[in-house]
Amino acid sequence: MATENAQVDHEGRLVHGPTRWQPGDDIAAPLDFYRVAVLPACVDYNRHMTEAAYLTAFGWASDALFSYIGDDDAYRAAGHSFYTVETHIAYLREAAEHAPLRITTRVLGVDRKRLLIYHEMFHGDDDTMLSTTEQMLVHVDMNAGRSAAILPDVRAALDAILAAHSTLPPATGGGHFPVPTSE
């Protein structure tokens, strides 16, 4: 089972992703790769994490997912990537400066070109849920500047994760987007 945490730099950006998924691997449900502390630059005049910092942290957790499924530097250099087309965030609790954060990730749906993911952010000390986000992404051919089918190896990883996550209860903060289904 992939339990290796992502390693991040002093600003929370991914510098070492989890071990890439391989066929036959056990898959955590949900994925639990990403941890970071609230940085001073991410705190506002109310002394808690800014709205934008929540989205940034969720984006870095998405980067850990991308690393796991094989959407890595080589994949992007070949002109392939996922672009977020819509996001819904629920801000449930405040996160203070230096608070440890843990973000879990679920794949809710995937089809030929679309990916629906869901993140939950928890306080790293007591597992209080702080925020959720549901995001619809589209796979793109960056050279052509348009949507394109997800490449087979990445699609196989997403299908395997989706199967592992299909046993989870419904996402508490999900349901904002139609769920893509395999074609």
Q: pLDDT tens string for the chain (183 positions)?
A: 444 566 556 555 556 668 889 999 999 999 998 888 998 999 999 999 999 999 999 999 999 999 999 998 899 999 999 999 999 999 999 999 999 999 999 999 999 999 999 999 999 999 999 999 999 999 999 999 999 999 999 999 999 999 999 999 999 888 888 888 866
CATH entry 3.10.129.10 includes domain 27-165:
yes
Q: What is the model's pLDDT at position 16? A: 61
Q: What is the model's pLDDT at position 178? A: 80
Q: What is the model's pLDDT at position 3? A: 46
Distance, CA of 59 to CA of 102 (rounded, Å): 13
Q: What is the model's pLDDT at position 14? A: 58
Contact between 103 and 65 under an 8 Å Cβ cutoff? The reply is no
Distance of alpha carbon 21 from the chain centroid: 15
Helix axes 152-165, 51-69, angle to 10 degrees: 110
CA atoms within 13 A on the CB side of 74: 4
**Domain spans of the chain?**
27-165
Distance, CA of 157 to CA of 54 (rounded, Å): 26
Q: Residue 117 belongs to what H/E stretch? A: strand 114-123
Instruction: Write the CA distances from 27 to 21, 42, 59, 139, 183, integer angstroms.
Output: 8, 32, 21, 22, 23
Distance, CA of 47 to CA of 94 (rounded, Å): 9
Q: What is the model's pLDDT at position 177? A: 84
